[in-house]
């Protein structure tokens, strides 16, 4: 199975909770009653304080025992349900980490000394810079990069995907993870992680929520809830004085019930669960978010920078045609292209050698030769033979500058040939020997199926897409038009990527990009969302704030949807929480004042059976709605691409209006049940 399949793996959908997670969450619900934990949520802290005060009032005989202890129990259960929402989210994270922990077991490494001698050492003793030998059937002892060889590796312990992947030294797919298993060949790995700080260790801590930090939006919402809670606390505290002024005495227990129904307990109880669940949903898509902030920012992204190769196209460009210039024999072009590609480890280089051999080129590999590797700066590679022959292949403008520096002029025929290949959507690779240009190698690539629809989906969300490619402008324009991107950068260097990101950020945009090589690290670090490939270099994974375990560059599109779902879920549940408080007022306020102020009876629009039942019904609904919304908080609100205005309208209609109407129905039904029970 290809690692760069556009659709990736279907997101794993584990059961919402299993029996073990449920038991763990129930236990943690009581452990989270500690004052230190409750004070992190001002809303739940006030409810717990109300619970204790209600118990004292009832025990002192100030309130009727039956009513007083009922209120106390309901308030206590409300706190437990709030704790349970957070605990169940954390338990799901621990469940997702269990398979990862099984991969982190005691391993023995074959450490390679300076003289090449092997010694067996515990994996825990390895330090960055050590080199180890890993053969077929062995597990990789620690995170590192392959410095010699290539191998197929089973990464199912990390990714959940059973299909083996190829890792090779000297490429952007040289990174390996401790705990994964080598299936074939033998590799030499240079260790890059300290013990206890490996990728797997950090991943386990993150998915368990141990290192979770509140996101900026979550912090802002927490402060808003704290301010609302303080405001309502002041209002309720002043009610007895106001009531005394008009001759109304308000029972302390009813004041507590009013306060709990006024403050936004629903979102207060669900807020931590929403944050944890956002990171878990990202992991379900096989994306490791290093922080909740990364997931949240992904939902606000305005611009996506995507590499063409492997993201928009299938990536393995293949040599399909040799185009010799006038006066150049086709065999001469084939031989030069083959010699320049013998040391080229890329799929393109290997395809040139294969095509040349298939067309009859029998040139042997030279005994002594100096090979020049491709770099993003020179944008060409080649070979210098002992006989004095100097062969280069690369982008048209790079080869043009090269031969012009040697005192030669480039013919118009080359320009026309390059444009012809580029217009067809293929990539022209120019070959020269000495100061003479021999011709063009046509490299064909294919846009992935469905990619145009994906970009249309992003456009509907208000996200602009920018394709980055090293191809010439004609090829880039042809691919961009076929793929449906909004803009493109042709003949791009790493500096160009960084400059474009900074330019977009200077305009106030949030930028996301994907990368896997060391040369991508600066841009990944600069971007607001940097998605690094798990198969990439350690530098790229350290620079990014997300890691795609599937190493699918197109996963960035899914990351944006996960982030937007996170924001929409929090917004929808906040809207619902604030809206259903309105209905609870109509249950509590008549119960407080109807006896002393008959005009207040007009507010009893639900015609509840008695003031006591009205208070109990409102409190019971207030408690039950928290666990009822836990599945929605964990799974997230269903997301459809739309503008911000359309999403706001939908949320206000569904969760705003629905949040007002549902409590009317539920509180009335609870009141009927209470009346029937008490009557019995």
Find, among 43, 50, 48, the residue nearest to 231 by Cα: 43
Q: Is 348 flagged in the annotation as binding?
A: yes
Q: Which of 201, 307, 548, 581 is catalytic?
A: 307
Give CA–CA dist 629/274, Å, rounded.
11
Q: Is 30 flagged in the annotation as binding?
A: no
Task: Please name the residues in contact with 353: beta carbons below 8 A apart, sequence gap of 6 or more.
Answer: 338, 341, 342, 344
Q: Is 520 flagged in the annotation as binding?
A: yes
Q: For residue 593, what are its two tokens?
A: 């004042």
**In angstroms, how far is the first alpha carbon of the chain from the final one?**
66
In this structure, the dihedral spanned by the alpha carbons of residues 248, 250, 251 and 256, taken in order and rounded to 10 degrees, is 170
- Phi/psi of residue 164, nearest 5 degrees: -70, 155
Pairing of strands 165-168, 144-148: unpaired
Please tell me whether residue 228 adopts helix, strand or coil conformation: helix
User: Edge to edge, what strands does the sheet with 464-468 contain?
Assistant: 287-289, 546-548, 529-533, 511-515, 303-307, 464-468, 487-489
Q: Is 381 flagged in the annotation as binding?
A: yes
Fill in the DSSP letter of residue 12. Answer: P
Please tell me whether residue 596 adopts helix, strand or coil conformation: coil
Pairing of strands 150-154, 165-168: antiparallel
Q: Is 139 flagged in the annotation as binding?
A: no
Q: Is 375 flagged in the annotation as binding?
A: yes
Q: Is 373 flagged in the annotation as binding?
A: no
Q: Identify each DSSP E strand in 183-302 by its residue range.
A: 186-191, 287-289
Q: Is 393 flagged in the annotation as binding?
A: yes
Q: Is 377 flagged in the annotation as binding?
A: yes
Q: Is 84 flagged in the annotation as binding?
A: no
Give CA–CA dist 392/381, Å, rounded.
6
Give CA–CA dist 535/552, Å, rounded.
9
- Phi/psi of residue 139, nearest 5 degrees: -95, 145
Exposed e or buried b for every residue in 50-72, given b needs 16+ CB within 10 A? Answer: bbebbbebbeeeebeeebbebbb
Alpha-carbon 82 to chain mean position? 26
Secondary structure of 630-641 as H, E, C letters? HHHHHHCCCCCC
Residue given tokens 């013919």 in the structure block: 411
- Catalytic, 307? Answer yes
User: Edge to edge, what strands does the sheet with 144-148 contain?
Assistant: 118-122, 108-112, 131-135, 186-191, 144-148, 175-176
Q: Which residues are annotated as a binding site?
A: 344, 348, 374-381, 393, 516, 520
Residues in the annotated binding site for ATP: 344, 348, 374-381, 393
| Bind-site residues for Mg(2+) | 516, 520
Active site residues per annotation: 307
């Amino acid at each position: 199975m290809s690692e760069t399949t556009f659709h990736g793996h279907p997101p794993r959908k584990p059961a919402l909770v299993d029996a073990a997670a449920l038991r763990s969450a129930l236990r943690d619900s009581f452990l989270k009653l500690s004052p230190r934990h409750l004070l992190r949520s001002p809303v739940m802290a006030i409810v717990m304080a109300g619970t204790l005060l209600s118990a004292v009032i009832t025990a002192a005989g100030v309130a009727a025992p039956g009513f007083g202890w009922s209120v106390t129990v309901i308030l206590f259960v409300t706190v437990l349900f709030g704790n349970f929402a957070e605990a169940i989210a954390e338990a799901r994270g621990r469940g997702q980490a269990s398979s990862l922990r099984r991969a982190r077991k005691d391993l023995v490494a074959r450490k390679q000394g300076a003289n090449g001698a092997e010694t067996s050492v515990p994996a825990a003793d390895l330090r960055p810079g050590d080199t180890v030998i890993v053969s077929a059937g062995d597990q990789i002892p620690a995170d590192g990069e392959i410095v010699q060889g290539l191998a197929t590796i089973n990464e199912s312990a990390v990714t959940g995907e059973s299909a083996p992947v190829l890792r090779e030294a000297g490429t952007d797919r040289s990174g390996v993870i401790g705990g994964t298993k080598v299936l074939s060949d033998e590799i030499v790995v240079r260790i890059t992680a300290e013990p206890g700080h490996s990728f797997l260790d950090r991943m386990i801590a993150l998915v368990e929520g141990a290192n979770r930090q509140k996101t900026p939006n979550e912090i802002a919402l927490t402060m808003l809830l704290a301010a609302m809670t303080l405001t309502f606390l002041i209002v309720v505290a002043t009610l007895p004085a106001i009531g005394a002024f008009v001759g109304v005495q308000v029972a302390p227990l009813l004041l507590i019930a009013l306060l709990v129904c006024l403050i936004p307990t629903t979102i207060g109880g669900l807020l931590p669960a929403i944050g944890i669940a956002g990171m878990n949903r990202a992991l379900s898509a096989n994306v490791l978010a290093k922080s909740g902030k990364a997931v949240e920012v992904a939902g606000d992204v305005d611009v996506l920078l995507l590499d063409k190769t492997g993201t928009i196209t299938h990536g393995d460009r293949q040599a399909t045609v040799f185009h010799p210039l006038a006066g150049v024999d086709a065999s001469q072009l084939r031989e030069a292209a083959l010699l320049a590609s013998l040391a080229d480890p890329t799929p393109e280089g290997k395809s040139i050698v294969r095509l040349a051999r298939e067309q009859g080129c029998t040139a042997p590999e030279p005994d002594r030769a100096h090979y020049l590797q491709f770099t993003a700066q020179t944008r060409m590679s080649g070979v210098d033979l002992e006989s004095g022959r100097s062969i280069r292949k690369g982008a048209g403008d790079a080869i043009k500058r090269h031969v012009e520096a040697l005192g030669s002029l480039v013919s118009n025929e080359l320009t026309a040939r390059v444009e012809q290949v580029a217009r067809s959507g293929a990539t022209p690779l120019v070959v020269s020997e000495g100061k003479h240009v021999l011709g063009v190698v046509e490299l064909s690539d294919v846009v992935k199926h469905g990619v145009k629809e994906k970009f249309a989906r992003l456009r509907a969300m208000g996200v602009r897409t920018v394709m980055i490619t090293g191809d010439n402008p004609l090829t880039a324009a042809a691919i961009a038009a076929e793929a449906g991107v909004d803009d493109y950068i042709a003949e791009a260097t790493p500096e160009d990527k960084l400059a474009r990101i900074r330019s977009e950020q200077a305009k106030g945009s949030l930028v996301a990009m994907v990368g896997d090589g060391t040369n991508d690290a600066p841009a990944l670090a600069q971007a607001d969302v940097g998605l690094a490939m798990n198969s990439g270099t350690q530098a790229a994974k350290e620079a990014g704030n997300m890691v795609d375990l599937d190493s699918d560059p197109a996963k960035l599109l899914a990351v944006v949807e996960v982030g937007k779902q996170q924001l929409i879920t929090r917004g929808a549940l906040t809207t619902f929480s604030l809206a259903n408080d309105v209905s609870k007022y109509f249950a509590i306020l008549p119960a407080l004042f109807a006896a002393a102020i008959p005009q207040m009876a007009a507010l009893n629009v639900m015609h509840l059976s008695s003031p006591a039942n009205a208070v109990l019904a409102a409190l019971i609904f207030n408690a039950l709605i928290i666990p009822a919304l836990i599945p929605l908080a964990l799974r997230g609100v269903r997301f459809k691409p739309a503008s911000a205005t359309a999403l706001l309208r939908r949320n206000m209609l569904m969760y705003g209006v629905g949040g007002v109407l549902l409590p009317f129905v539920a509180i009335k039904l609870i009141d009927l049940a209470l009346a029937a029970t008490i009557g019995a």
